[in-house]
Amino acid sequence: MTKEGLVKVLSNGNKTLADVGHSTMLNILNHVCVPKLIARLQQEMLNTKAQQVHAKMAQYLFVLVSIYPFEGVLDRHAAYVDLYLEQCCSNANVEARSYGRKSFLTWQKLAPDNAQSLFSVLEYQTQKAIIEEQDRVGAGPEQHTFQK
């Protein structure tokens, strides 16, 4: 099965097939470093209209920024990661936004300049939600690193 086929199976009407595709994608992301997948997943997030697929794509972003190496992988695909983060943080799906905020906070530790630039172009409500998420995970108000 190709990576395109695997991504397409996520929006399949058959719930069992979609769940198996989701589990397979998570296992691939957790056990194999595939940098080309970053751009492909970002494009799929942009092109799909299915809200449940958006939540899964946002979860994949969280896995990517959490376990993929920054040097040589994420740094080379930073433009795609930034677009992907913006799409997730501003998404209509609640679960996708939640994963987007968590991913953003992880990305901020890895690429603070990129995160700051991205933060400055996000809408006020999205910025506020990111700051609230940062407070929930343990950073006090004095530790906020985002500038408005």
pLDDT tens column, 13-60: 677 888 888 898 899 999 999 899 999 999 989 988 888 889 999 999
The encoded tokens of residue 62 equal: 């969280």
What torsion do the CA atoms of 82, 88, 89, 94 make, to the nearest 10 degrees? Answer: -170
pLDDT higher than 90, residue 86: yes
pLDDT of res. 49: 87
Q: Is the pTM of this model over 0.95?
A: no
State residue 12's pLDDT score: 65
Cβ pair 38, 85 in contact under 8 A: no
- Cβ neighbors of 8 (< 8 A, separation 6 or more) are none
